[in-house]
Amino acid sequence: MLATATPPNPCKPPTSHTGAGNLGIGIDGSVTVPNKCDVLSNGILRVDPGHFPVSRFGAPNATSTPVDFSISLSDYAASAKPTLSFHDKAAQPNAYKTLLSSSAPAARAVAQGFNLVTTEASTGEWIAYGDPVSARQYPMKRVGDMATIPLPAQDIRTGAAELTFTIP
């Protein structure tokens, strides 16, 4: 006996569904996809830039050796394009938005003339800090089933400035 195949129906055009459309096929109602993700650092990510003698910082803008760290997300929607923004939580944030203010535990002295600078590794650009609503957004990169952003950090000597006014 010869096997026969049913020819495709030439009158019915193929249907394709992309993205969220796939979720609604064959069910009544709608499907809610929650916006969620897991931050892989468990909430607090400590970065120790190390200990360096002051003599290592011979002039303003001298920096320490970068310390590599990254922030990663997992379990997020495949179509998501996660971004990060950064906020300086110091009582008096640095006037220079790319320098993170120094801080110390209660009753301990704060380093003067030094700050922390964090770099967006893929561009070499210093991360800018701002208020949570309007701070610059930095895109994360997909690596397998995670999104990550590498961020080397280092101390930088900011120095002091002296101004002289002459009033005729």
Q: pLDDT, tens digit, for every residue of 3-44?
A: 555 555 555 555 554 444 444 455 555 555 555 666 655 566
pLDDT in tens, 100-138: 877 767 767 666 788 888 999 989 999 998 887 888 999
State if pTM tops 0.75.
no
Say how far apart CA 78 and CA 128 lie, in whole Å. 28
- Distance (Å, whole) CA 79 – CA 147: 12
User: Taking the CA of residue 56 as centre, how many other CA atoms within 13 Å lie in the half-sphere pointing to its CB?
Assistant: 11
What distance in Å separates the CA atoms of residue 147 and residue 19, rounded to the nearest whole number?
19
* Cα dihedral: 107, 109, 114, 115 (round 10): 0
Cβ atoms 148, 70 nearer than 8 A: yes
The pLDDT, as a whole number, for residue 125 is 93
**Residue 157: φ, ψ to 5°:** -80, 120
How many CB atoms sit inside 10 A of residue 88's CB? 20
**Phi and psi angles of residue 63, each rounded to the nearest 5 degrees, phi first:** -125, 160
Domains and CATH numbers, the chain: 37-161 (2.60.40.1090)
**149 half-sphere exposure, CB direction, 13 A CA radius:** 21
Exposure string (b/e) for 114-123, b if CB count within 10 Å is 16 or more?
bbbbbbbbee
